[in-house]
C-alpha cells in the first residue's frame, strides 16, 4: 500500500482517539462545573436566608411588616422563592398564625435553605428559601 495512504489511515485513527479524549474530558469538566453550580445555588439560598434574618432579628413587629420583594444585586438571572411562616407555641404544639411569600413558587429548586427561630414574643418563625 502507498505510504501516503498508510499515513492518512494513521492520522484518521489519531483524530478519532483525540476526539474521544476531548469528548471524555468535556463530560468530566461539565460534571465538575455542575457540582460547583449546585454548591453555589445552596450558598445563594443560605445568603438570602441570612440577609433576611439579619434584617429582622428576633423582632416580631419587624417580621410582620417585612416586605419580601427585594432586588438582590448578586442574583443574575436566578429566580428565588421565599416563604415565611409564623407559629405560636402553646403546650409544645405549633399553631400557624400567618404566612407570606414572594409569590414565585419553585418546585424544581437547585438550592434550598431553611431557618427556624424563636421571636421576642415567644412565637416562632420558619424561613424557607429556594433558588433555581
Partner 1 sequence: MIKPIIRLLIIGSMLAISTLFSFYTYYYGKNLIESFQYASAKSIAYTITENILSSLANAKIKGKESSSSILLSQSVLLIVEENRVTVGVGSTNYSIKIPINISITPIRTTILALNITAYPNGTIKIIKVK
Residues that bind partner 1 (CB under 8 A): 2, 4-5, 7-8, 11, 15, 18, 22, 25-26, 29, 32-33, 36-37, 39-40, 43-44, 46-47, 49-51, 53-55, 57-58, 70, 72-74, 115, 117
As measured in angstroms, the least distance from the Cβ of 14 to partner 1 is: 9
Closer residue to partner 1 in complex, CB, 5/69: 5
Least separation, in Å, of the C-beta of 10 and partner 1? 9
Which CB sits closer to partner 1, 29 or 94? 29
The sign one gets for the Cα dihedral 116, 121, 122, 123 is: negative
Handedness of CA 44, 74, 78, 59 (dihedral sign): positive
User: Least distance (Å) from partner 1 to the CB of residue 105?
Assistant: 23
Distances (CA, A) of 21 to 1, 25, 50, 125: 29, 6, 43, 52
Amino acid at each position: 500500500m502507498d505510504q501516503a495512504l498508510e499515513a492518512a489511515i494513521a492520522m484518521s485513527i489519531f483524530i478519532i482517539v483525540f476526539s474521544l479524549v476531548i469528548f471524555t474530558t468535556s463530560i468530566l469538566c461539565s460534571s465538575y462545573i455542575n457540582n460547583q453550580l449546585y454548591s453555589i445555588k445552596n450558598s445563594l439560598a443560605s445568603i438570602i436566608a441570612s440577609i433576611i434574618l439579619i434584617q429582622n432579628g428576633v423582632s416580631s413587629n419587624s417580621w410582620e411588616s417585612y416586605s419580601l420583594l427585594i432586588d438582590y444585586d448578586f442574583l443574575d438571572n436566578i429566580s428565588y422563592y421565599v416563604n415565611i411562616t409564623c407559629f405560636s407555641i402553646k403546650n409544645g404544639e405549633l399553631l400557624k398564625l400567618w404566612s407570606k411569600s414572594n409569590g414565585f413558587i419553585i418546585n424544581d429548586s437547585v438550592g434550598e435553605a431553611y431557618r427556624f427561630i424563636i421571636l421576642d414574643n415567644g412565637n416562632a418563625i420558619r424561613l424557607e428559601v429556594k433558588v433555581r
